[in-house]
């Protein structure tokens, strides 16, 4: 667009970018390709086999696991990380059965 004689302000308006961004492109300081990020693992990754064993035993309380981390003095003691991981493995809550007790009008009184 610059070669066509358009100003930086006009290019910015047409492309929706700021004027500073257009200037960086024109100077060659800015590449249009996005970089790829490395995926990093969770703090729980080294302990997932241990957690899986405990989940198979039926222990779904995240507080029990946080005590284990405190004893080992390791990174990843935070409860929210543990809760999010354990939540997927918990069995659904069962609604208690309710037996309705109905009487005729005035009979119970």
Q: Give the pLDDT confidence score for residue 13 in this predicted structure.
A: 92
Q: What is the mean pLDDT of residues 93-108?
A: 79
Same domain as 52, residue 21: no
**Model pTM?**
0.47
- pLDDT band at 73, cuts 50/70/90? low
Q: Cα(74)–Cα(50) distance, rounded to whole angstroms?
A: 14
Residue 56 inside a domain? The answer is yes
Residue 42 or residue 66, greater confidence: 42
The answer as to whether 3 is a domain residue is: yes
The pLDDT confidence band at residue 10, using thresholds 50, 70 and 90, is very high
Domains in the chain, number: 2
Report if residue 100 sits inside a domain. no
Least confident of 34-38, 57-61, 92-96: 34-38
8 A C-beta contact, residue 70 and residue 77: yes
What radius of gyration, in Å, describes the C-alpha atoms of the chain? Answer: 30
**Residue 62 forms part of a structural domain:** yes
Domain encompassing residue 13: 1-31
Q: Is residue 106 part of a domain?
A: no
């Amino acid at each position: 667009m610059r070669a066509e004689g358009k100003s930086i302000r006009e290019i910015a308006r047409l492309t929706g970018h700021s004027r500073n961004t257009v200037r960086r492109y024109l100077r060659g300081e800015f590449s249009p390709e996005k970089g790829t990020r490395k995926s990093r693992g969770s703090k729980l990754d080294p302990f997932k086999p241990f957690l899986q064993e405990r989940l198979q035993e039926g222990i779904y309380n995240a507080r029990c696991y946080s005590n284990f981390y405190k004893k080992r003095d390791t990174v990843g003691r935070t409860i929210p990380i543990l809760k999010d991981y354990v939540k997927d493995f918990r069995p659904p809550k069962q609604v208690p059965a309710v037996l309705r007790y109905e009487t005729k009008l005035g009979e119970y009184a």
